[in-house]
Amino acid sequence: MKNIFRRVASMLAVAFVAAMSLVACSEEEVAEPNRLATPEVDVVFRSESFDVTWKAVDGADGYVYSLNGAEEQTTTATSLKFEGLKYGSNNTLKIKAVDSSKAFADSEWKDVSLTLNTAFKLGEIELAVSGQTESSFVVSWNAAEGAEYYEVALATSSTIEVVNGLQKEFTGLAEGVYHVMVRPATSDADYAPAAWVRINAKTQESIADELAANSYLIEEAGAYVFAPFKGNSGEAVEGVAGAGLLWQDTPGLITEAGLVDGKVRFVVAEGVYGNAVVYAYGEGGNEQALWSWHIWVPEQKVESLPMITGFNVMNMNLGATTAAAADVNAFGLCYQWGRKDPFTGSPTLTGNTETIYAPIYDINNEQIAYGKSMDKQSVEYSIANPATFISSGAMYSDWCSTSDDSLWGNPEGNVREEGSLKYTNYGVKSMYDPCPAGWRVPPIHATSHFTSSGFLVFSFAQTTIADRNDDGVVDQNDYNYGYYFTLSGNTKSFFPAAASWDGWYAALYGSKAGIASGYWTNSIYVSTLEAQKDSKMAATGLSFFTPAMVGGGCYVSANGGMARGDANSVRCVADKE
């Protein structure tokens, strides 16, 4: 019995030692348990959300996470979805694996940084305005790739309308300009929100009868209607059966032209600048015009500048789109003296004998050409054929078969007080004046003070040419495809050396582009030569040459004679009697 007891006791002792050894190991593992593996995550980006997934971590029964430093959250899943975030936002997610039994230590944090800028983008759209009436218009757009629908709003309203089609008609509007916003949209969260596309949409504007003129200055895109009057005469054009576009010098400038309810209607495109001529025709068809009107859409704002002579002059040539120096777009249009209808000038700052006029286009943006008459014609012919240049048939002659000194409203405009630069007659705006409402062709007196004598001078000191380059000296270096003339005080304006049309050959005088100028007045020219005193072949204008043409010197004439058959520039002045 004792041996058995000893053996049992011995076995118990061994068991006790083994047990104590196991307890010791267990206590050591609780003090320093194994650490869980850090979750390896996959992230899927969207425009305003992202998904995070990972494989289950061995030994983990849960996970702790925090987004952008917010309070820690727990989950037993192996994926997370975060929504309602802002596209383009920076986000930081941290996540770790945990064991609630504490048999394993928490894993290291897994840090994920991401910016929500990798979403798909919807296609781009372009907006167009059409169907303008006095109280409505239609805004349309192209289909955008990825878009399910479109959001449309007026900039002045907080209401956003969902449109499933490709246009939206706005009705019940007061006359004016509206700022319309459109953007493509989709419910697919993989796409980033699109930016708004904006366009100015204008209800049809009816030009008041009191603003009737042969030229309409248009400062905003949109649809316009006007009653067909013969210039500012108040005399209506009779027998009008239709209207259309005669020509435009910028493709796409005029998108519609026609007759609506007895009025001429035309539509100017957004962001396009230049000139056009629309016309009315009778029952006999559209081959001849009953009357025509110049549509002028400059990019730079037309302003009125004071002159020492008491007139206010435009800051740019009639038909120019800018007043900038050394810019062909400052040249403007060319006019035969006494005619209301323009012709395009040089397409380049300088030219040669091969240079032809800037191109013109029809309503379909196809290039067309001016007509030519190599014989003198009547005023009636010029009205019926506004896009036909009429040859004078001689170097110093009139285009009109029967010269009429009053065509631009000042038949005695050359008369002045003896011994002074004060001209007695300023004239009135005539039915054939080419300037817009409130403006007219200037009389001699308006620009007579550009030279000290009022006539031709050969010295810079005898002109009002401004010191363009601020070197303290007025000389040939102040020429820059034209001159800045001081109008009054510190006010100056650029007069470009725009090319003219030669009346004899009925062609653009391309070799004069950038080096010579001619600016009409409304006054006839009477020669001081006895043999030419009865000649009615010329009218008066401002002219100058580049210094290179006169050996680096000066040539400026404030009151020179120019052939009425030539086509020169016009710089309008504010209308006054």
| Domain shared by 100 and 151, yes or no | no
240-256 residue pLDDT tens: 999 999 999 999 999 99
Domain total for the chain? Answer: 3
Residue 28 lies in a domain: no
Give the residue from 203, 237, 256 where a domain finishes: 203
| Domain shared by 159 and 107, yes or no | no
In this prediction, residues 532-550 reach a mean pLDDT of: 85
pTM of the model as a whole:
0.80
Q: If pLDDT is split at 50, 70 and 90, which confidence band does 17 have?
A: very low
Give the residue from 153, 177, 203 where a domain finishes: 203
Amino acid at residue number 206: S
104-121 residue pLDDT tens: 999 999 999 998 876 789
Per-residue pLDDT, 529: 59
Say if CB 423 and CB 448 are below 8 A apart.
yes
189-201 residue pLDDT tens: 778 889 999 999 9
Residue 387 lies in a domain: no
Say if CB 65 and CB 80 are below 8 A apart.
yes
**Of 114, 113, 109, 31, nearest in space to 63 by CA:** 109
| Domain shared by 338 and 196, yes or no | no
CATH at 182:
2.60.40.10
Say if CB 321 and CB 300 are below 8 A apart.
yes
Q: Give residue 193's domain range.
A: 127-203
361-406 residue pLDDT tens: 999 999 999 999 999 999 999 999 999 999 999 888 999 999 999 9
Say if CB 542 and CB 447 are below 8 A apart.
yes
| Domain shared by 41 and 181, yes or no | no
| Domain shared by 48 and 87, yes or no | yes
| Domain shared by 92 and 195, yes or no | no
Residue 555 lies in a domain: yes
Give the residue from 141, 175, 203 where a domain finishes: 203
| Domain shared by 170 and 132, yes or no | yes
Residue with the larger pLDDT of the pair 118 and 563: 563
- CB atoms inside a 10 Å sphere around CB 463: 22
Q: What is the DSSP string of 309-377?
A: TS-EEESS-TT-S---TT-GGGS-EEEETT-S--EE--SSSS--TT--PPPEE-TTS-EE--EEESS-B
CA–CA dist 95, 109 (Å, integer): 5
| Domain shared by 313 and 415, yes or no | yes
- Pairing state of beta strands 34-35 and 104-105? parallel
Q: What is the DSSP string of 540-566?
A: EEEEEE-GGGGTT---EEEEEEEETTS
| Domain shared by 432 and 400, yes or no | yes
- CB atoms inside a 10 Å sphere around CB 259: 17
| Domain shared by 403 and 449, yes or no | yes
Per-residue pLDDT, 539: 94
In this prediction, residues 318-322 reach a mean pLDDT of: 98
Query: What percentage of residues in the chain have a pLDDT greater than 70?
Result: 93
| Domain shared by 403 and 431, yes or no | yes
46-65 residue pLDDT tens: 888 899 999 999 999 999 99
